[in-house]
Each structure stands twice: as structure tokens, then as C-alpha cells.
Amino acid sequence: MLGIYAGLAASAFLAATIVPFSSEAALLALLAAGQGQPVLLVAAASVGNIAGSAVNWLLGRFIQRFRDRSWFPVGPGAYARAEAWFNRFGLWSLLFAWVPVVGDPLTLVAGALRVGFIRFLLLVGIGKVARYAVLAGGLAWWQGSP
């Protein structure tokens, strides 16, 4: 049973980095199949996804100066959109680090702009846990569970 949680956490970690993957689909598939405890599945997905975002923050913090190189993990367009979003909405934009396309670059930009790590984790964590909890609750409602 531990393997289910570890696998979900790993998939959520990868989904939060530059690897295109849907941790939401993995979570919903496990929930729909009745595999594992819903609260623990949400926790595993959240921890993995937040950890992946922390890696992005570190990358932004330490390799941002290389962003115009071809090997940089985020394209110039995505980086510019994330930076504009962050500059427009400030720290609160990190609540939306789960949003596809802009979320991962947003966490990278937060590191590049030297956002404090504790604030970063708190805001990113709130947004990501809320997203998984809403998905799990929505599926339970759809299936008629309490």
C-alpha cells in the first residue's frame, strides 16, 4: 500500500518540475479505483508536488542567470508570462502555482526574484493542497460518497 502513496508523490513531484505529467489524473484514477485512503492520497500528491515546486524555486534562485541559454528548462515566453504575472499580483500569485502552463515557471521566477523560501512554501502549499482537496472532494461528490 505504501507503494501507491510513494508512486503518487513521485508523479506529483515530476508534474511540478519541467516534466509534462498530470498528477491530477493519477490522483483521480487512484481515488476512482478505491486505492488507498483519500486523505493520504491528497497528502502524498501535495507533498510531492510542493517538493517539485521547491526544486523549481532552487533552480530559479541559482541558475536564473542562464535563462537565455538553449538548455534552460523554461522557454523565454513562459518565463516572461510568469514574471509578468508575478510582478502584477506579487506574492499572492504563488497561490496559483498549480495552474497549468504558468505555474511551474512561476515557481522558478519566485526563486529568481529571491522570494523567501518559507513564504514560498506556505503560499504554494496552500494552493496545491487546496487543488487536490477540491479534486478529491469533487470526485467523491460525483460518485455520491459522503
The reported pLDDT for the residue numbered 145 is 64
Mean pLDDT of 3-13: 95
Sign of CA pseudo-dihedral 52, 75, 124, 61: positive
Instruction: Judge whether 128 and 9 are in contact, CB under 8 Å.
Output: no
Q: How many whole angstroms separate alpha carbon 144 and alpha carbon 124? A: 30
Asked if the model's pLDDT at residue 18 lies above 70, the reply is no
Q: What is the CA radius of gyration of the chain?
A: 16
Tally of structural domains, the chain: 1
Q: State the chain's mean pLDDT as an integer.
A: 89
Highest mean pLDDT of the ranges 11-25, 40-54, 74-88, 90-104:
40-54
Residue 45 C-beta-side C-alpha neighbours within 13 Å: 30
The reported pLDDT for the residue numbered 99 is 87
The whole domain housing 70 covers 2-143
